[in-house]
Amino acid sequence: MSQEYIVLVAGPMGAGKTTAIAALSEIPVVRTEARNTDLARHSKALTTVALDYGEITLSGHDKVRLYGVPGQERFDFMWKILERRALGLMLLLDNAAPDPIGDLDRYLKVFADLDQRGAMVIGVTRTDVNPQPDTETYNERLRESGRVLPVFALDAREPRQVRTLLGTLVALVEARATTVV
């Protein structure tokens, strides 16, 4: 039977959410971007203020609806609406950000419900720009917070790497679906 999954792609501004969705999607990505009015936080001229949307069909039948959700705290309420419908979360973290481990902590708190109910994978981008912290540091932090989650270093511009991350997430969602009846 074919399945349909809603997957959220979350993470701070500049982590590669829009790029990752574009790398995965087989339809033209619906992008809602606007001029960045928060240049103090990030120098990007365009930033996501609403949603990015893309779709991918897995193994010929299962469809994944991908929603990129805003990275700025002032849009928090939008995360909550979609989170209720989602089964999986791809959390992207920018390794070149000032405090990526702090970002991890913050997003784990925000998405605690989805983490409990669904599945989560973590993709660390920009390791080419900033190799530290390494994935072991993320793993340690996750262990401290009582979680075991897959952590991948990846480049959001590389479709194959993003597909690997999504494939892992879908496998976790399916494992949950068969164990939690």
25 binds Mg ion (CB under 5 A): no
How far CA 98 is from CA of 12, 94, 103, 168, in Å, comes to 11, 9, 9, 28
d(CA 135, CA 126): 12
Question: Which of 71/133 has CB closer to ligand GDP?
Answer: 71
117 contact choice in Mg ion, ligand GDP, none (CB below 5 to 8 Å, kind-dependent): none
Nearest alpha carbon to residue 4 among 115, 122, 90, 85: 85
14 binds ligand GDP (CB under 6 A): yes
- Asked whether 66 and 25 are in contact (CB, 8 A), the reply is yes
78 binds ligand GDP (CB under 6 A): no
User: Please, which of residues 17-46 interact with ligand GDP by CB under 6 A?
Assistant: 17-19
Out of 7, 12, 14, 18, name the contact with Mg ion by CB under 5 A.
Answer: 18
The position carrying tokens 């087989």 is 26
User: Please, which of residues 47-86 interact with Mg ion by CB under 5 A?
Assistant: 48
Chain contacts with Mg ion (rule: CB under 5 A): 17-18, 48
Chain contacts with ligand GDP (rule: CB under 6 A): 11, 13-19, 47-48, 71, 125-126, 128-129, 155-157
